[in-house]
Structure 1
Amino acid sequence: MAQTQELFSSSLPQTLWCAEQVKTQEALLAKQQGISLSQLMERAGQAAFAYMQSRWPKARQILVLAGGGNNGGDAYVLARLAKLSGKQIQLLELGQVEGLPEEAHLAREAWLAAGGRAENLERINWQCDVVVDGVLGTGLASPLREPLMELFSRVNQTKAEVLALDIPSGLCADSGRNWGQVIQATATITFIALKQGLFTGQAAEYVGELVLADLGVGEAFEQQNQSSVKRLPRHLLDPMLAPRSRLAHKGHCGRALLVGGNQGMAGAIRMAAEACLRSGAGLVNVLTHGDSIGTVSYGRPELMVSAAALRQDQFLQQATCCVIGPGLGQDDWAKQLFIWALDAAVPCLVDADGLNLLAKQSLHRVDWILTPHPGEAARLLACSVAEVEVDRVSAARQIQARYGGVCVLKGAGTVIAGEEQQLSICCAGNPGMASGGMGDVLSGIIGGLLAQLAERYSLFEIACLAVNIHGQAADLAAKQGERGMLASDLMPFIRQRVNP
């Protein structure tokens, strides 16, 4: 088993890559290792078979879907190994066999030489234990057509476990886009390096458990290439949260100014303000609508709450950061307060209606963090939500380029884009976060960390840390169940995570 485990790993590296970066390096990496591309394909099939054996040791009936490219070649290798081990294999060939790449053709010949054969679709017995998806891999770059749409739908209706090779077929390897129909995998084994589309967009719905088989060339690939895209492992940024000095007092921990909470929307600024406190800000001032003061201050006397009015410049002068937008609204009161708050000569966080107001103006700053959800991102880019969701990485980069600072595009696989092409994707979080107020809590966390850390760390680093804490706090809260989880349920876990 120790030898088997060396072929794949659930311990994933930090760096993410575009599929083309990996594809163009395969021949060079194989040559450096003194092996052929066929041998590299053999390693991929061996790793996939070893993982299948480890994950489903009792599986006997295996259906292998082999496409017309190198992903199909990996599938032929797995099918041959599985057959030789005594399993009962059905193999369905998809695409033109005559057009197979040389390595995939050799893998097919080896499968046939081992006594394998291809089945007709009409003769497939769908009552199997495992379906192996080797149809499309990372090469798909356009919407699916029939008959693959119907086939993928049929796979998704089976009760069998599904193992995807490299990436679930139908999912874009770079953006996580659904090209019309995606095979829903129980697990995905990806090869050589991690593709960024496995971590954002609609990937969370289809990838399942993810493991990496670097095929003995992953380390060389990482050393010889550069990527500005990173994933955020759980404890990567914890050193930013070093223990405080024994002499620390509230003045050392920053003063955050939060602006928002129009009539009927006090809850948003209230949750943001408490999350700011729970993240460790020394002092939190809230400027809100006069009608909201009671709601904001009730049950949290540590907040300093005042009715917002113009020419309250002492609040801007005292603040070490400013959060503008939760519950702000878009009426004249909100517009005037928005313009006033952006005069702060301190790092700012803009969220919610602050972003909707920003979309109507042409402003660019290097010292702010913008936290749109897909709808707000669409307004910032003057496009549709669908266009944002098609390529979340690109959308985050565009917002950052247009407005400056840092963009945090929220959603499954939150994307954080900073200056100089810096980009991270957060893997923490869960569907329980699909409830009102979660974005307000994130705004408060970012504000609390800005208040404490802006003098020592970049806005990009702070945004990454805050998004990680937010998602991890939600994962801890979800242990009692995802459905019915409230944004305020995160509060005790935020405190837990800022004290690693």
Structure 2
Amino acid sequence: MVKQSINFDRSNLPQSVFNVKTVKQLECKAIDTLGITMYELMLRAGQACYELARAQWPEARHWLIACGHGNNGGDGYVIARLAQAAGINITLLSCNSSSNLVNQEANMARNAWLSAGGMIYDPDIIWPENIDLIIDALLGTGINRAPIAPYNHIINMINAHCAPVLAVDIPSGLMANNGITPGVAVIANHTLSILALKPGQLIGKARDYVGVLHYHDLGLAILLTNIKAPIIRYSEQDLVRWIKPRRSSMHKGDNGRLLLIGGDLGTAGAIRMTAEAALRSGAGLVYVLTHENNVTPILTARPELMVDILNEKLLKKALAWADVIGIGPGLGQRKWGQKALKIVSGNKNKKPMIWDADALNWLARNHDNRQNRIITPHIGEAARLLNVSISEIENDLIYSAKTLAQRYGGVIVLKGAGTVIVSETGNVVIIDVGNAGMATAGMGDILSGIIASFLSQKLKLIEAAYAGCVVHGATADAVCHQRGMRGMLATDLLKLMWQFVNPETRDH
């Protein structure tokens, strides 16, 4: 049963993202430096979850709370005690109803629940009919394999129920470091991330399970400000970092000369979308080299472009003219496109480039390492570039992006639901915009055009990748607000992109 809630406003979430090991270290640091006990942290986490539940579902009068054997379960016992004290009817299921829990703090929370008159039920009971809220406090962030009995049984029961679900820290069964689901996982309406955001809440399958993501620092913000996060989350609010207002005296030459190469027979649309996206995001001059049959249709559709036939003479001349080079959309795998790639690949200058689509298929067979290039693979292309299976890429997107950066150099944009960007220095960024409406033909061509345009406007490679991906996803979210996800076309983004590439209009 799909229970998800769609939320495009994530402005209240922090930028810093930490893996599970680092979060554990943060907890230990709080204990050592601030004199806070682990049980106090558990009480704070339970309080935060209880308050969020009351705020989101104020009319809910009968909560079912599913508790596991660790600290996540301890949080659940705290939530139960607070809710019962407020007059809410609680049905609490425990996977360890008669034995000690893993941690002392979780045992303390359970004993406090029992001392307050709370009841604990076995996981195989028949659920009451009037449950109107479910709290998932089963497994938390510590698991690294598929849930087993009785956890998988409870997760299936939660997903089959019609009541909304709040997940404590992360939906049970979703891996906190990579966002994969090796077995069943709770489909939550809302998730409260505790102390820090984790990668698995943002990438991989996260959006299928997390619902609306919330965050609480448990009063430990002072600790987080002094620690450099290994992963950064960027969203629409960050566009001001890279896209500045234009000088009044600017002319088209100030905004770059961009050469785009692609569009074999039957794929004129790909290079045309890339080129128009480049214009719509601010490139000064865009010159397209394509198959001769595509020249007239592209010029007719978008007369602001310069379009010519792709041949060796014109390509070499254009490479000398351009400030930035983009190659791949619609290029195909025939000798015609292969020759163009060989010429571009052999080019000795250090001009910034973006390679996408068919250029990546060529690169997978002809490895090279360049510092002046952005590549934008989706998961299938990444698998070919690394000569591994798609599942290996999906199982660790961050590691895969880092490996791509080491092998091919420059900047890697590993596209997906939670795009991962990595430079050869190893800095990791997750782009936290976009929606499932983007799962349609041409979206990658639009992205290539936006990134290439920002390169032509003098952004550094890594900045153009960040800004391009955020503009791309934020525009798709704006389209979704207007018209929904299903039936979204890549060209729909061209009509709304101005909202995000113009600082003077972005807030209006």
Q: Please, what TM-score do these two structures have when normalized by structure 2?
A: 0.93
Query: Is residue 2:63 matched to residue 1:58?
Result: no
Query: Is residue 2:185 matched to residue 1:182?
Result: yes
The correspondence for 1:245, drawn from 247, 258, 277, is: 247
Tell me the amino acid that sits aligned with residue 104 of structure 2.
Answer: E
Partner of 2:164: 161
Deviations along 1:313-352, one digit per CA (max 9) or x if unpaired, are 2200111111110001111111111111234421110100
SS at structure 1 position matched to 2:365: coil
Query: Is residue 2:396 matched to residue 1:391?
Result: yes
SS at structure 2 position matched to 1:388: helix
Partner of 1:356: 361
Q: CA deviation at 1:298?
A: 2.1
Q: CA deviation at 1:169?
A: 0.6
Query: Is residue 2:189 matched to residue 1:214?
Result: no
Quick one: structure 1 residues 255 and 497, their matched pair in 2 at CA, closer, same or farther if it must change by over 3 Å? Answer: same
Percent identity for Structure 1 against Structure 2: 43
Partner of 1:3: none
Deviations along 1:41-78, one digit per CA (max 9) or x if unpaired, are 11111111111111111111111111010111101100
- What are the equivalent positions in structure 2 for 1:93-112 lying under 5 Å apart? 93-95=94-96, 97-112=99-114
SS at structure 2 position matched to 1:461: helix
- What are the equivalent positions in structure 2 for 1:57-456 lying under 5 Å apart? 57-95=58-96, 97-120=99-122, 121-125=124-128, 127-223=130-226, 225-312=227-314, 313-344=316-347, 345=349, 346-454=351-459
CA contact (8 A) 1:256 1:283 kept: yes
Q: CA deviation at 1:126?
A: 5.5
> Can you give the 5+ residue segments of structure 2 that lack an aligned partner in the other structure?
1-9, 504-508
SS at structure 2 position matched to 1:291: helix
| d(CA) in 2 for partners of 1:264, 1:191 | 51
SS at structure 2 position matched to 1:241: coil
Tell me the amino acid that sits aligned with residue 118 of structure 2.
Answer: G
SS at structure 2 position matched to 1:420: coil
Partner of 1:25: 26
| d(CA) in 2 for partners of 1:480, 1:87 | 39
Partner of 2:465: 463
Tell me the amino acid that sits aligned with residue 45 of structure 1.
Answer: G
SS at structure 2 position matched to 1:497: helix
CA contact (8 A) 1:10 1:212 kept: no
Tell me the amino acid that sits aligned with residue 500 of structure 2.
Answer: R
CA contact (8 A) 1:10 1:210 kept: no
Deviations along 1:98-136, one digit per CA (max 9) or x if unpaired, are 243000000000000000121122233254111111111
Q: CA deviation at 1:143?
A: 2.4
SS at structure 2 position matched to 1:421: coil
SS at structure 2 position matched to 1:201: coil
SS at structure 1 position matched to 2:266: coil
Quick one: structure 1 residues 10 and 128, their matched pair in 2 at CA, closer, same or farther if it must change by over 3 Å? Answer: farther
Tell me the amino acid that sits aligned with residue 463 of structure 1.
Answer: A
Partner of 2:6: none
Q: CA deviation at 1:151?
A: 2.2
Give the superposed CA RMSD: 1.5
Tell me the amino acid that sits aligned with residue 413 of structure 2.
Answer: V
Deviations along 1:454-499, one digit per CA (max 9) or x if unpaired, are 4xxx311110000000001111112222111110111122222110
Q: CA deviation at 1:10?
A: 7.0
SS at structure 1 position matched to 2:208: helix
Q: CA deviation at 1:399?
A: 0.9
Deviations along 1:183-228, one digit per CA (max 9) or x if unpaired, are 01111111111111111111111111111111111331341x3223
CA contact (8 A) 1:201 1:412 kept: yes
Deviations along 1:14-62, one digit per CA (max 9) or x if unpaired, are 1111011011231320342322111111111111111111111111111
Quick one: structure 1 residues 453 and 470, their matched pair in 2 at CA, closer, same or farther if it must change by over 3 Å? Answer: same
CA contact (8 A) 2:312 2:340 kept: yes
Partner of 1:481: 484
Partner of 1:4: none
| d(CA) in 1 for partners of 2:498, 2:218 | 41
| d(CA) in 1 for partners of 2:213, 2:479 | 23
Tell me the amino acid that sits aligned with residue 55 of structure 1.
Answer: Q
Tell me the amino acid that sits aligned with residue 369 of structure 1.
Answer: I
> Can you give the 5+ residue segments of structure 1 that lack an aligned partner in the other structure?
1-8
Partner of 1:493: 496
Q: 200-209 vs 418-427, which deviates more?
A: 418-427
| d(CA) in 2 for partners of 1:328, 1:27 | 54
Deviations along 1:285-318, one digit per CA (max 9) or x if unpaired, are 1011112212222221111111101133220011
| d(CA) in 2 for partners of 1:165, 1:219 | 23
Quick one: structure 1 residues 91 and 266, their matched pair in 2 at CA, closer, same or farther if it must change by over 3 Å? Answer: same
CA contact (8 A) 1:30 1:217 kept: no
CA contact (8 A) 1:365 1:405 kept: yes
CA contact (8 A) 1:232 1:427 kept: yes
Deviations along 1:357-396, one digit per CA (max 9) or x if unpaired, are 1001121001100101111011011111111111211111
Q: Please, what TM-score do these two structures have when normalized by structure 1?
A: 0.95
Quick one: structure 1 residues 441 and 146, their matched pair in 2 at CA, closer, same or farther if it must change by over 3 Å? Answer: same
Aligned length: 488
Q: CA deviation at 1:268?
A: 0.3
Q: CA deviation at 1:145?
A: 2.6
| d(CA) in 1 for partners of 2:232, 2:392 | 23
| d(CA) in 2 for partners of 1:245, 1:212 | 39
